[in-house]
Structure 1
């Protein structure tokens, strides 16, 4: 049951001196704002009052940042900050009037500054984490479906807030900051990400650590994969583990229930160029897997994933034609198959059939899969393509010419 509605006059007109009274008034408001009709009839003066409490309470956090011994005295201020954020968060739910009123008071700037102070404190106190999470939820709600708010959030939050929060040890803080990033991104802001690649790579890492969290996943699939320029510069800078994560999501997109749309085809043709050229340049790294000390080589494993992507891309009729004529791709794949086959025959390594049968590790399974995927890719590249069929025949059976 909702708390009784306090008379607006008391909240907006009279200074309530004791923090405990502020806290009770805020809690009553937070409860009231759970209902749409109360959100729609809230006077703007209430939001000014909440902002005043937020500013006053944030002074204690500033002090604790300058003097760590003050951290233990933050309890009552953190309670008030948390309740201010909860109240504002609830007020913004599906209510653009309140979003606009709260934004026009410059509450977003105050909230972002405070969140950055929280990160500076580097304390894992539960009360601090709760205030931190509620602040991010407020920013997410004020930006939701409101372009004016999104641009103000972006102006204040980019890049510091994302650099501070996307790699935070607390899973909820990572999820909520990802929600803000997802909500605020547009094609124009994607260009800014190209100049702040650490943020984009932090999103990939967040998805690696929390594959079940929807926001990092949505940022990658709905924003990153629509920008070939960003993917290209990211790929050059990422670790091999991060590359595998990105390539897995690319495969998931190509193989998804929904076929690639007309708008997505040109984008994926650009991705195909990156994948094919990288594979042609680097595919021989897979041969490192023939020696014991490189059996877990991450660069080789990333190259194996490039082949997986190429197999799925050539299974897509819209992308196949481009890859069938990609310079050097077919020749390199045929050459690699021959070298791997020879390596498997000559010595005991993970490309040997008997080694694969004995081994239980993932890498040997990958090596076996790599050979079958090379064969699959050759088949796809030769599908209804006479030139490629002739190339394959002369490469595999060089002495059968006229």
Structure 2
């Protein structure tokens, strides 16, 4: 049995204070660097001095990580580290000269190494969190609008810092580390990020805890890019994506009704809703992969929630004029009128995917009155490109080797509840044989 870990050391006024001279000098510099004119005239030697203090204080942290008994002596070091980071953070604000000077001293590498050590310390929470947050703010500021700094930050921080910080329990640490990630991204680094999708999953997990944050959307796009890319998923990719599929499906099931906020104009650009829309896009692409489809077809509550959401946005779009209302006008090519564009189409696409050669799901859609809902959703709608084509696909998958669903649609057509011309577009027609109605495919199969 492992020995019990020592309790966190208390860092209070009973500890020896930080060296007064260094601490007071740093605080004075921090205050001075709040003004642009002082930042622009700062000599490089100042930053060397700050780095020297930071390095010396870092040695105390390294020692405490190796020897827990040394934690009780960290109070003064954490004070100095925090003030060093504040000073450097302020010096970098809208000042590329200082960014370059500080970067060229290799301060970024020292800062990142120290931030990674913070995760190993067991000290009083607030003292450590303050140093941790200031360190991330400094890294974010030195990378802001400075490609050379961004490159160095990426070299030192990817992927360890992001993997370590994006799942941190402190919201500010998650927010600051995500800021660094997106500040540093370019097309070349996006490719590296695609190869390390665990970071994307950390972002999605963080989104579950902080759904108001805007930054999960880009990483969800990366997952889509990976799935639909020219290179098929390898055998090694599949287990990873299965774990991703579980997280994404559960997040969608829990949060998908958030998109209804978009019916209000004041929430027309809601980032939380946008992230949920991208979750649906990811699920559509995942269920287009046969290796992932079978897992998602039996995911608890997913099909039911998709049908429920389709019904809710269909009703909302009919009741009042909003982003889910049918738009019969033809927009210019490439024009996107709102962030919910294509959402109804993708819901129907996902229903079709989940019912592909799956009798249980076909029957479940019938039980939930999903078939009339799909047929009723197929008006001409320029806000939902390919809506009819995805409805065709869904109805085919719902009726394949399923006589009960075929009979239901045939009866709907007979009673005037299903548009015969729409069924013909879908490649079906209803034929009466004696007292029985038969839904059969037409000779001309529509193109998807």
TM-score range, shorter chain: 0.5 to 0.7
Offset at 1:151? 0.3
Could you tell me whether the CA contact under 8 Å between 2:61 and 2:117 is conserved in 1? yes
Listed one character per residue, the Cα deviations across residues 187-241 of structure 1 (whole Å, up to 9, x for unaligned) are: 111111122111111111112211223444xxxxxxxxxxxxxxxxxxxxxxxxx
Listed one character per residue, the Cα deviations across residues 90-133 of structure 1 (whole Å, up to 9, x for unaligned) are: 00000000000000000000001100110122545211110000
Could you tell me whether the CA contact under 8 Å between 2:96 and 2:146 is conserved in 1? yes
Q: 4+ runs of 1 displaced by more than 4 Å?
A: 1-18, 245-391, 393-402
With over 3 angstroms needed to count, the CA separation of the structure-2 counterparts of 1:72 and 1:357, relative to structure 1, is farther
With over 3 angstroms needed to count, the CA separation of the structure-2 counterparts of 1:401 and 1:279, relative to structure 1, is farther
With over 3 angstroms needed to count, the CA separation of the structure-2 counterparts of 1:267 and 1:397, relative to structure 1, is farther
Could you tell me whether the CA contact under 8 Å between 2:9 and 2:122 is conserved in 1? no
With over 3 angstroms needed to count, the CA separation of the structure-2 counterparts of 1:7 and 1:53, relative to structure 1, is farther
Q: How many residues align?
A: 373
Q: Distance in 1 between matches of 2:24 and 2:176?
A: 26
With over 3 angstroms needed to count, the CA separation of the structure-2 counterparts of 1:358 and 1:117, relative to structure 1, is same
Offset at 1:272? 17
Could you tell me whether the CA contact under 8 Å between 1:350 and 1:356 is conserved in 2? no
Structure 1 residue runs without a partner (length 5+): 217-244
SS at match of 1:122: coil
Could you tell me whether the CA contact under 8 Å between 1:11 and 1:46 is conserved in 2? no
Could you tell me whether the CA contact under 8 Å between 2:82 and 2:135 is conserved in 1? yes
Could you tell me whether the CA contact under 8 Å between 1:4 and 1:28 is conserved in 2? no
Could you tell me whether the CA contact under 8 Å between 2:85 and 2:138 is conserved in 1? yes
Could you tell me whether the CA contact under 8 Å between 2:39 and 2:98 is conserved in 1? yes
TM-score, normalised via structure 1 length: 0.55
With over 3 angstroms needed to count, the CA separation of the structure-2 counterparts of 1:126 and 1:29, relative to structure 1, is same
With over 3 angstroms needed to count, the CA separation of the structure-2 counterparts of 1:83 and 1:332, relative to structure 1, is closer
Give the equivalent residue in structure 2 for 1:358: 331
Q: Distance in 2 between matches of 1:101 and 1:295?
A: 43
Give the equivalent residue in structure 2 for 1:93: 93
With over 3 angstroms needed to count, the CA separation of the structure-2 counterparts of 1:93 and 1:266, relative to structure 1, is farther
Could you tell me whether the CA contact under 8 Å between 1:356 and 1:365 is conserved in 2? no
With over 3 angstroms needed to count, the CA separation of the structure-2 counterparts of 1:109 and 1:258, relative to structure 1, is closer
SS at match of 2:9: helix
Please say which of residues 9-18 and 163-172 is displaced more in the overlay.
Answer: 9-18
Listed one character per residue, the Cα deviations across residues 145-175 of structure 1 (whole Å, up to 9, x for unaligned) are: 0000000000011111111111011111111
Could you tell me whether the CA contact under 8 Å between 2:11 and 2:75 is conserved in 1? no
Please say which of residues 138-147 and 376-385 is displaced more in the overlay.
Answer: 376-385
TM-score, normalised via structure 2 length: 0.50
SS at match of 1:287: helix
Could you tell me whether the CA contact under 8 Å between 2:281 and 2:346 is conserved in 1? yes
Listed one character per residue, the Cα deviations across residues 246-294 of structure 1 (whole Å, up to 9, x for unaligned) are: 8899999999999999999999999999999999999999999999999
Give the equivalent residue in structure 2 for 1:241: none
Q: Does 1:401 align with 2:444?
A: yes
With over 3 angstroms needed to count, the CA separation of the structure-2 counterparts of 1:105 and 1:258, relative to structure 1, is same
